[in-house]
Amino acid sequence: GESVGLHLPTLSVQEGDNSIINCAYSNSASDYFIWYKQESGKGPQFIIDIRSNMDKRQGQRVTVLLNKTVKHLSLQIAATQPGDSAVYFCAETGKTGANNLFFGTGTRLTVIP
Amino acid sequence: NAGVTQTPKFQVLKTGQSMTLQCAQDMNHEYMSWYRQDPGMGLRLIHYSVGAGITDQGEVPNGYNVSRSTTEDFPLRLLSAAPSQTSVYFCASSYGGGGEDTEAFFGQGTRLTVV
């Protein structure tokens, strides 16, 4: 079956440093991946996505890297700010339903001022 | 533009009671879905709908019913609440059927406790 998981449950970084959050997936047929940010008491918020035919995609201060060979996904946040403190989830849609998301367990990012 | 609105935000039920969690979106999205989030876990799909009149089961559908009579509304019904259904419930909607159109917008969540 499909599974999406994260290597590290928590990550602490100094303000201004870069953050890297990792994610592994098991379904080689997955074709679309998304990163979500969830702040305390709120619903997940879309950050960035990437299709399986891409290796890298950049947004504002964020970059997603996809390594299909080892089925690994990462989210890089540049110049991490206190407002970046949250739980980050990777999700994939696979083939079971275009908008049905399979989430990993999440990584809690804490930014130290 | 309100996005996805869930009500109530908090609810306490006794075992065996039934209730309906409401979800409404004003973005004219065809796709809507319900997820539950348990402590230390990611979200898991309960039920989803690809359009009015069409619903299907997700990963964890047991104990829940849904209907989709309009594009805007997608209520989730707990038939006979059990302590195992204590969780935070999120409703989501999205526009398209895949690719970049799959970006899902989430509501603020309903925190449900079953005692």
Render pLDDT for A53-103 as a digit per residue (tens, 0 to 9).
999 999 999 999 999 999 999 999 999 999 999 999 999 886 544 567 888
Residues of B in contact with A4 (CB under 8 A): 42
Instruction: Test A99 with B104 for CB contact under 8 angstroms.
Output: yes
What token pair was written down for A4? 């999406």
pLDDT recorded at residue B100? 55
How near does any CA of chain B get to the CA of A88, in Å?
10
pLDDT digits (tens, 9 = 90+) for B55-75: 999 989 999 999 999 999 999
Q: Is A61 left (phi over 0), alpha (psi -120 to 50) or beta?
A: left
Check residue A1 and give its pLDDT: 34
Shortest distance between the Cα of B25 and any Cα of chain A, in A, equals: 14
B111: nearest CA partner in chain A? A41
Closest C-alpha among B115, B111, B95 to residue B103: B95
- Where does A10-101 show beta strands of DSSP type E? 10-14, 19-25, 32-38, 45-51, 56-58, 62-67, 72-77, 86-92
B113: nearest Cα among B88, B95, B91, B96? B88
